[in-house]
Amino acid sequence: MVTTTAARDTDLASALVQTMHRLQDLHAETSRPLGLTPQQAHLLCVLLSGPLGMTELSRILSIERSSLTSMVDRLERRTLVARTPNPTDRRASQIELTPDGLALAHEAHDAVVNRINAMTADLPRATRATITTALQSILTR
């Protein structure tokens, strides 16, 4: 059977979409036991790299600013995040993890990583390297 370029492209896109859905499900499964929604877990994990402003967070998380404000308010009440002054703009604030938020963000991140590692444990080292290289190439575009 001859596979056309269009069929290969569709196969790749389909596999990536299915992978995205599986990872979203996995993220939801691992965040629930921590008392977080998947969106809250995502926000905490994004903040592991350091404080960010609301505009940047809204862009990264692909949510409306009003929805983000509500989410940050809820996480702030749980003392997982804090609003701090933006050092370069007195009118703005940044969102940063509190010590409790940092611990929970690491726990959420580690739970997802551990599940992914379990799912891929049987892959040969060469296959893992090939997948890693391909995904990194896609993500840097």
What is the per-residue pLDDT across 54-85, written as a single tens digit (0 to 9) for each? 999 999 999 999 999 999 999 999 999 999 99
Q: What is the pLDDT of residues 27-62, one digit of tens each?
A: 999 999 999 999 999 999 999 999 999 999 999 999
Could you count the other beta carbons within 10 Å of the beta carbon of residue 23? Answer: 14
Instruction: Supply the pLDDT for residue 92.
Output: 86
Q: What is the pLDDT of residues 1-37, one digit of tens each?
A: 556 666 667 888 999 999 999 999 999 999 999 999 9
Instruction: Supply the pLDDT for residue 7.
Output: 61
Instruction: Supply the pLDDT for residue 10.
Output: 86
Q: What is the pLDDT of residues 78-123, one digit of tens each?
A: 999 999 998 888 888 899 999 999 999 999 999 999 999 999 999 9
Per-residue b/e over 64-101, b at no fewer than 16 CB within 10 Å?
eeeebeebbeebeeeebbbeeeeeeeeeebbbebeeeb
Residue whose tokens read 């749980």 = 78
